[in-house]
A and B are shown apart, each in its own frame.
Chain A
């Protein structure tokens, strides 16, 4: 994505004037967007990049309806992250824009003004909204709004967006700016100071490489693009930049470097020179600050050497507990209602493929989607609270040193922790990480963390194989030690994979952390609710449809071709049955027979040569296929395969069946070595279609989920293979 006029020409003229909303992260941009558009925002993705695009209609009274496009929160328009690229692209003509609202946090006015100046330089008619004016007043600082407006040549609106203060004034300013867009833009451009002579010559050289019209706005957009290119190109990984532009920028940069100049500093410094002059004139401190700010005092505690980590562990423990336990009543409720519905529909429809499709394919698939909602909602409630309050930045501050060791960002901690409950919300939580590279890396290793769906599989294996072992060191339950080792292995796997990916697939400049620690603030509840709803909705619509489709495909694999011969046989047996229990036992046995007859059953056989070196047979192969719906489904699938029913609460019959299962040569199927190999397979394998669906949604392409599935499957296969084969050589193969 590069700024282009072609895109502007191709963009259809919207029905309402379109206004872009730009601003720094933590400036209250989301709050203002929600205030302007209510719950009517549409959330999508910019094509090809994992950047959210939110659009909503604002009714500002007197028939003024505006389409508001929320640009990604950025500190500048020059560097090369996808978020900034989207914002740059939009502001330099990629989106048709009638005006721009630039929001600045008035408590950090100087830094906010940097983006404001860049937006003004593009020639877009703009309105400056100064947010958090209440905090400025408390602080004893006086901001001369009139002077700022005069010096910048734009309308300036003081606001407290969280309370809706300043909204009517913003509407008035927008109306005036839209009514006289050309002169508004010209007035602001006239006040942009000329560049120093040397720099101006360099900029002209770069401008000559750029096309565009001769109107004042086109000329200023061209200048803005030239400045953007000069500070952004060179160490970037942007695609679609004209080679001639690159060459010219390289030449200009080389020449200035040879002359001992620093172009980045000159460009950025010239803007800050203007900002410093403006701040000196318009911002006054009426009294010296005596008391240290509340934020500073809270941070003394929350980032204290001893209390800081304690608070950190406490907060994270609550988040984890919520995901792991608080969500389970809601999950159970949804599962039960889905089961009720399945029962209801089963009873109402005649026997046949259509009924099975609806009950076991569609309704079960909808259930597979809905069960994730409680955890996603809960996690985003917590992330919203942490982010809005400012603590999320402190989480990164406190834990960054540990995370940095493996090349992860401090902000990757919350997603990684959440992964131990469920990878689906955890992958969605990576949205809090700004840089795309850091976000992708986190997304790709999160599924290695030991999610709660693996637990039933581990418990089954431990119960089957290690139930009556002597205690380790006389203290620890043998099974508990095995379970601990699986969790340890998963953590080591995630950390190791992150370190490897950072050095290979996602290699790049040394990862850094330049992180604003915003003041602590009270969350805006309405924001929180809207945000949670948007996350849930985007999951339901975008990942949900993939999960549903995969559920139906998986159902078909497990149900076709139909085994008519056994159906007739079981029909007769059921007719002869005397009790309801007998009939339901027969039904489950029929399901087992059907399963073994199905494509999945045959795939189990077909795959057996591939998985035999891991110690698995075709029956375990079917279980692995079934587990793709969700890992815990392994347990009920195995129940069907072994004709002991699909009850996944009481697994005693299955454990007995597994203990007694034999291979064709009469040897035991489930030796401890096979069990360990299987558990290790589950530690590493990407046995979860929902994870694949959500990574597809969050990464914006199929490339990353396919890569993730491949590397995790490869890792699982090799690890199980090593364990099983080495174990056999060491003579651990037998019972």
Chain B
């Protein structure tokens, strides 16, 4: 069993499977509706020039969220 880490801690280029979205309800709902569900594969594409927010690739599109939110999403890193 792999260890779960926060999405916000992963380096650029890392690929992971979402395990749990623990954000506040409103944000969690928005993220779920946009397809960021447990089981979804996400990749960290890049970090904004000022260090926040980050860009994720999931389900064939690009989504940007702030690091604060990413720290509330636990994932399992894919090798």
Q: Which residues of A contact B (CB under 8 A)?
A: 75-76, 78-80, 107-111, 114, 231, 234-235, 264-265, 268-269, 272, 295-296, 299-300, 303-306, 308-309, 393, 396-402, 404, 509-510, 512-519
Contact = CB atoms under 8 A, between A and B. Distances in A.
Prevailing SS type, chain A contact patch: helix
B71 interface: no
A265 B27 contact: no
A300 B27 CA distance: 27
Contacts of B62: 295, 516-519
Nearest to A232: B29
A397 B61 contact: no
Q: Which 4 A-B pairs have the closest CB atoms?
A: A401-B50, A517-B62, A108-B61, A76-B33
17 contacts: A264-B25, A268-B33, A268-B37, A295-B62, A299-B45, A397-B53, A400-B48, A401-B52, A402-B50, A404-B66, A512-B26, A512-B69, A513-B64, A513-B65, A514-B65, A516-B34, A517-B64
Given A110-B59, A303-B46, A393-B64, A513 B26 contact: no
Given A107-B60, A107-B61, A510-B24, A401 B48 contact: yes
A111 B34 contact: yes
Contacts of A396: 64
Interface string B33-66: 1110110000001101111110100011111111
Nearest to B33: A76
B60 A108 contact: yes
Nearest to A268: B32
Interface residues of B, number: 34
Contacts, number: 127
A65 to B, nearest CB: 35
Given A299-B46, A305-B49, A512-B66, A268 B59 contact: no
Given A75-B34, A308-B49, A512-B26, 5 more contacts: A110-B60, A268-B29, A269-B32, A299-B46, A400-B48
Contacts of A514: 27, 30-31, 34, 63-65, 69
Given A512-B27, A514-B30, A398 B50 contact: yes
Nearest to A510: B24
A272 B35 CA distance: 7
A265 B65 contact: no
A269 B37 contact: yes
Nearest to B51: A401
B28 interface: yes
A231 B55 contact: no
A404 B53 CA distance: 10
B60 A114 contact: no
A680 to B, nearest CB: 32
B61 to A, nearest CB: 4
Nearest to A275: B35
Nearest to B31: A514
Contacts of B31: 514
A495 to B, nearest CB: 16
Contacts of A515: 53, 63-65
Contacts of B34: 75, 111, 114, 514, 516
B48 A265 contact: no
A503 to B, nearest CB: 18
A295 B60 CA distance: 12
A264 B61 contact: no
Nearest to A305: B49
A349 B27 CA distance: 64
B44 to A, nearest CB: 13
Interface string B1-31: 0000000000000000000010011111111
A401 B53 contact: yes
Contact of A303 (B35, B48, B65): B48
Contacts of A398: 48-50
A402 B61 CA distance: 25
Nearest to A508: B26
A142 to B, nearest CB: 14
A76 B31 CA distance: 11
A398 B47 CA distance: 9
Given A400-B66, A401-B52, A514-B65, A509 B24 contact: yes
A104 to B, nearest CB: 12
Given A308-B49, A309-B49, A512-B66, A517 B55 contact: yes
Contacts of B63: 514-517
A518 B21 CA distance: 23
Contacts of B24: 235, 509-510
B37 A397 contact: no
A269 B21 CA distance: 12
Contacts of B35: 110-111, 114, 272
Contacts of A231: 29
Contact of B48 (A109, A234, A397): A397
A401 B61 CA distance: 22
A295 B45 CA distance: 12
Which residue among A235, A393, A510 has the maximum number of chain B CB atoms within 10 Å of its CB? Answer: A510
A139 to B, nearest CB: 9
A718 B1 CA distance: 63
B32 A264 contact: yes
A516 B36 CA distance: 12
Nearest to A74: B33
A396 B55 CA distance: 12
Contacts of B60: 107-110
A114 B24 CA distance: 21
Nearest to A265: B32
Contact of B26 (A75, A235, A400, A404): A235
